[in-house]
């Protein structure tokens, strides 16, 4: 990593002006194992005063909040990614280590740490605590979920434990906001201004040192913790069902099915409403602004642009809601366990399951969530195949073509033919994603497989308040990232399809004379072998901003208007204009084509360069062309030309 | 320390089950025992070197002397497995579990 050079504030400078150090809020950081309730504690401490950004130069989310101590002092809190050790393996864990050591570029070292531990699961965290102790930065141990420990009759000798680890201990229940003021009092005591900066000494421990630390942690654990009188038996019983080789998989698939149903049916109402609202708003501005360039820019460029981002929000919120529920309850690790072999067969890591699942709503949050994957090749493979998952932006396109060309027949008495085709398109996406990753891992990045090792946390009921806060955070991140990319793109596409103006007396649609139209005409000969006409290629150009825009553009090109009411008209028109072979070829194109510049933009961000977005663009375009070519010619040979 | 521990040639027979340490990678659901050695050599091609695998296993609690019980097996090839290490539940693949030698309780 590029972060190995220590960047530290000059201690002389900091201490020479005592007023400045009084005024600047102290910085503290939260460290802990995954599943220790660290983020819940962060939420409880900072409330809504949170800010999410990226660490300089790395694509790891930086979550910072502000809190006020009981004494009225302001402090800045950093929520560091969960880890079992300071020996970093994933980019997330590198950030945790470097932040703790004060080595993070552009970050001042935290004055104190709060080490968050699940009070019912102390064994592994004690080793991390010992590691922190050796670093030498002042810390307080927050024994979180203490209510559960008490309910289980777990006895912890807090005084002795505190003496053994050489740090104060506070018991907390983050979800009920218990113990927070005591915790902050301890933190205040730790951040008393020091003359000299604490020197962080740390080097990667050897296996022998880890063993020694383990033995020490074990000794402390035995001395301070009495085993629970009423240990949790629920998790074991639930796992008996949920991890059952057959029943477990069946339950997982059912759960996914319900999730999809929810994403697509529940989100439809708010999404449609939003779509109409933005349509009406656009029409209203167009009517009230003096007709001309400004009106067109505001209604077709800006409002349509904002609308095209927001229209995905309901689906993404519902999807994230499910994912957060599954994560907070402890089920997500089980899902990775159940899916590991299936994903592994295609060369994917078990942890790729969540990112690929998210990609069904939109590849952007999917690609952003690949950060949980440690290994670089595993992560890149997941990123590369994520856009093959059928995202919701393809649905309007699929919907239009299917309703125009596939007869609403019933097959085998119960199944609708249209539904079957839709299912087939989804299946084509999944199968091709698995095949592509198989090829990547068996041909290009052969050999070694990253280990799969994951703690299976105790099951817990998700806490609604905490869940909503995390949902809000994720929605905000999506809007910021996607908005920053999609909005300018929509404006660009508006420019491309508006200028230059048609000559006076022109008969065709205006877009035909624009840059987008010319590009469409230019590439049309290339697309003729796959059965596309020039109207389709023109529609593909704005479709690069967002897939569903192609529907509106087809409406414009065929001069029937792009709004929802004219869908029926467009659908009828297409039946006369396109052959079935052309329609099927268009569907095949949409399964594979990299028709989403926002996805490419996010890949560029996540991989820090243009190499991987270019690879993604090239391979998807090639696949799309081949798939459409084969589809078209097979269909023509079968008499559908 | 770096060589993989040898498998008992007849590890299926009842007597040797209890005495000779066996690879956790070959354990079945319900097997219990005590970890006797963590080597980092799984016997399969790994993306990380043996030293790194050993340290990762140690950090997840796979340490000599820890009690172990195989709780669950996956559907395909009975892989991966879920084990209890002392009081932590961990999921891992059989190939990495191959780097952990366990002295199983006799039945």
Q: How high is the pLDDT of residue A13?
A: 38
Domain ranges of chain B: 20-104
Choices 2.60.120.620, 2.30.30.90, 1.20.1440.130, 1.10.287.110: CATH for B20-104? 2.30.30.90
Q: How high is the pLDDT of residue A8?
A: 37
Judge whether residue A410 has pLDDT over 70. Answer: yes
Task: State the first-to-last Cα distance of chain B, in angstroms, to the nearest integer.
Answer: 29
Of A404-418, A496-510, A575-589, minimum mean pLDDT range: A496-510
Question: Is A415 labelled a binding residue?
Answer: no
Q: What is the pLDDT of residues A197-219, one digit of tens each?
A: 555 678 888 889 999 999 999 99
CA distance A136 to chain B (A): 21
Asked if B64 reaches chain A (Cβ–Cβ under 8 Å), the answer is: yes
Residue A520 lies in a domain: no
pLDDT band at A179 (very low <50, low <70, confident <90, very high): very high
Q: Give this complex's ipTM.
A: 0.84
Judge whether residue A582 has pLDDT over 60. Answer: yes
Query: Greater confidence, A354 or A8?
Result: A354
Secondary structure class of A516 (helix, strand, coil): helix
Closest by CA position to A559, among listed A550, A551, A549, A570: A570
Judge whether residue A231 has pLDDT over 60. Answer: yes
Query: Greater confidence, A361 or B11?
Result: A361
Residue A483 lies in a domain: no
Residue A569 lies in a domain: no
Chain-wide mean pLDDT for chain A?
83
CA distance B12 to chain A (A): 24
**What's the rounded Cα separation, in Å, for the pair A182 and A186?**
6
pLDDT band at A595 (very low <50, low <70, confident <90, very high): confident
Question: Is A512 labelled a binding residue?
Answer: no
Q: How high is the pLDDT of residue A350?
A: 79
pLDDT band at A193 (very low <50, low <70, confident <90, very high): low
Strands A169-171 and A410-411: unpaired
Query: Greater confidence, B26 or A400?
Result: B26
Q: What is the pLDDT of residues A308-330, one digit of tens each?
A: 667 778 877 887 888 889 888 99
Judge whether residue A556 has pLDDT over 50. Answer: yes
Q: Say which of B58, B76, B82 has its CB closest to residue A243.
A: B82
**What's the rounded Cα separation, in Å, for the pair A129 and A84?**
10
Name the residue of chain B whose CA is nearest to A336's CA: B91
Q: What is the pLDDT of residues A125-160, one digit of tens each?
A: 999 999 998 888 899 999 999 999 999 999 999 999
Contacts of A121 in chain B (CB under 8 A): 87-88
Most confident stretch, A142-146, A421-425, B102-106: A142-146
Q: How high is the pLDDT of residue B4?
A: 46
- Please answer yes or no on whether A243 and B71 come within 8 Å at the CB atom: yes
Q: How many residues does chain B have?
A: 107
Phi then psi for residue A265, to 5 deg, are: -90, -45
Judge whether residue A561 has pLDDT over 70. Answer: no
Average pLDDT over residues A233-258: 90
pLDDT band at A345 (very low <50, low <70, confident <90, very high): confident
Contact of A121 with A460, CB cutoff 8 Å: no
Q: How high is the pLDDT of residue A15?
A: 39
- Please answer yes or no on whether B59 and A89 come within 8 Å at the CB atom: no
- Please answer yes or no on whether B74 and A341 come within 8 Å at the CB atom: yes
Contacts of A249 in chain B (CB under 8 A): 75
Instruction: Give the total number of structural domains in chain A.
Output: 1
Query: Greater confidence, B1 or A148?
Result: A148
CA distance B20 to chain A (A): 23
Report how many helices (DSSP H) and strands (DSSP E) chain B contains, helices first: 3, 6
Note every long-range contact of A225-230, with CB atoms under 8 Å and residues 24 or more positions apart, other chains counting: A225/A122, A225/A154, A225/A155, A225/A156, A225/A157, A225/A161, A226/A154, A226/A155, A226/A156, A227/A154, A228/A120, A228/A149, A228/A152, A228/A153, A228/A154, A229/A152, A229/A153, A229/A154, A230/A151, A230/A152, A230/A153
Average pLDDT over residues A61-79: 89
Q: Say which of B47, B88, B92 has its CB closest to residue A448.
A: B47
Q: How high is the pLDDT of residue A289?
A: 81
Average pLDDT over residues A346-353: 83
User: Which CATH number covers residue A59?
Assistant: 3.40.50.300
Beta bridge partners of A173: A178
Identify the domain containing residue A98 by its residue range: 11-226
Q: What is the pLDDT of residues A448-471, one digit of tens each?
A: 677 888 899 999 899 898 899 888
Judge whether residue B67 has pLDDT over 90. Answer: yes
Residue A41 lies in a domain: yes
Secondary structure class of A408 (helix, strand, coil): coil
- For chain A, what percent of residues have pLDDT higher than 70? 91
Containing H/E element for B101?
A: strand B100-104
Q: How high is the pLDDT of residue A23?
A: 57
């Amino acid at each position: 990593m590029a972060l190995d050079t220590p960047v530290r504030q000059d201690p002389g400078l900091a201490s020479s002006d005592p007023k400045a150090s009084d005024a600047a809020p102290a910085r503290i950081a939260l460290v802990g194992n995954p599943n220790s309730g660290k983020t819940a504690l962060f939420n409880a401490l900072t409330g809504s005063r949170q800010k999410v950004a990226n660490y300089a130069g790395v694509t790891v989310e930086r979550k910072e909040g502000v809190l006020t101590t009981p004494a009225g002092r302001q402090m800045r809190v950093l929520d560091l990614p969960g880890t079992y050790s300071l020996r970093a393996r994933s980019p997330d864990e590198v950030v945790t280590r470097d932040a703790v050591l004060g080595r993070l570029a552009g970050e001042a070292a935290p004055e104190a740490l709060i080490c968050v531990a699940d009070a019912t699961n102390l064994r592994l965290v004690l080793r991390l605590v010992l590691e922190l102790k050796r670093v030498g930065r002042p810390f307080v141990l927050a024994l979180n979920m203490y209510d559960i420990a008490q309910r289980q009759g777990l006895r912890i000798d807090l005084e002795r434990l505190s003496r053994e680890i050489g740090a104060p201990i506070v018991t907390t229940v983050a979800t009920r906001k218990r113990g927070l003021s005591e915790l902050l009092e301890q933190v205040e005591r730790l951040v008393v201004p020091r003359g000299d900066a604490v020197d962080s000494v740390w080097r990667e421990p050897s296996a022998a040192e880890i063993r020694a630390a383990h033995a020490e942690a074990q000794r402390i654990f035995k001395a301070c913790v009495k085993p629970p009188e009423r240990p949790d038996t629920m998790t074991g019983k639930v796992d008996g069902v949920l991890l059952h080789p057959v029943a477990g998989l069946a339950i997982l698939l059912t759960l996914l099915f319900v999730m999809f149903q929810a994403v697509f049916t529940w989100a439809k109402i708010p999404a449609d409403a939003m779509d109409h609202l933005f349509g009406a708003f656009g029409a209203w501005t167009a009517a009230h602004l003096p007709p001309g360039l400004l009106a067109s820019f505001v209604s077709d460029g800006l409002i349509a642009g904002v609308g095209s981002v927001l229209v995905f929000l309901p689906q993404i919120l519902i999807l994230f809601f499910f994912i957060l529920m599954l994560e907070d309850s402890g089920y997500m690790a089980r899902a990775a366990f159940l899916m590991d072999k299936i994903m592994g067969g295609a060369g994917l890591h078990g942890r790729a399951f969540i990112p690929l699942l998210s990609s069904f709503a939109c590849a952007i949050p999917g690609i952003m969530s690949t950060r949980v994957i440690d290994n670089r090749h595993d992560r890149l493979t997941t990123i590369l195949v994520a856009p093959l998952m059928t995202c919701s932006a393809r649905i309007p396109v699929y919907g239009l073509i299917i309703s125009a060309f596939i007869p609403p027949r019933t097959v085998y008495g119960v199944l609708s033919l249209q539904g079957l085709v839709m299912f087939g398109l989804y299946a084509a996406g999944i199968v091709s994603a698995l095949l592509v990753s198989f090829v990547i891992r068996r041909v290009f990045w052969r050999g070694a497989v990253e280990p799969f090792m994951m703690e299976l946390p105790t099951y817990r009921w998700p806490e609604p308040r905490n869940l909503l806060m995390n949902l809000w955070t994720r929605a905000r991140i999506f809007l910021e990232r996607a908005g920053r990319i999609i909005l300018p793109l929509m404006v660009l596409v508006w420019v491309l399809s508006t200028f230059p103006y048609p000559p006076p007396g022109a008969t065709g649609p205006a877009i035909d004379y624009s840059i987008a139209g010319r590009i469409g005409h230019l590439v049309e000969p290339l697309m003729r072998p796959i059965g596309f006409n020039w109207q389709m290629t023109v529609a593909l150009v704005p479709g690069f901003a967002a897939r569903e825009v192609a529907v509106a553009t087809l409406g414009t090109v065929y001069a029937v208007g792009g709004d929802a009411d004219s869908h029926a008209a467009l659908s009828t028109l297409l039946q006369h204009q396109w052959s079935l072979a052309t329609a099927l070829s268009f569907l095949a194109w949409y399964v594979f084509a990299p028709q989403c510049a926002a996805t490419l933009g996010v890949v560029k961000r996540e991989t820090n360069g243009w190499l991987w977005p270019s690879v993604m663009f090239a391979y998807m375009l090639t696949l799309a062309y081949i798939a459409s070519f084969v589809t078209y010619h097979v269909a023509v040979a079968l008499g559908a030309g | 320390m770096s060589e993989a521990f040898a498998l008992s040639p007849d590890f299926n027979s009842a007597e040797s089950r209890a005495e000779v340490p066996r690879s956790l990678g070959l354990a079945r659901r319900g097997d219990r025992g005590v970890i006797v050695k963590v080597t980092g050599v799984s016997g399969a091609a790994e993306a990380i070197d043996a030293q790194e695998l050993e340290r990762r296993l140690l950090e997840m609690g796979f340490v000599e002397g820890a009690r172990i019980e195989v709780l669950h097996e996956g559907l395909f090839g009975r892989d991966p497995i879920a084990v209890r290490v002392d009081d932590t539940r961990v999921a891992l693949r059989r190939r990495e579990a191959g780097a952990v030698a366990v002295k199983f309780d006799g039945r």
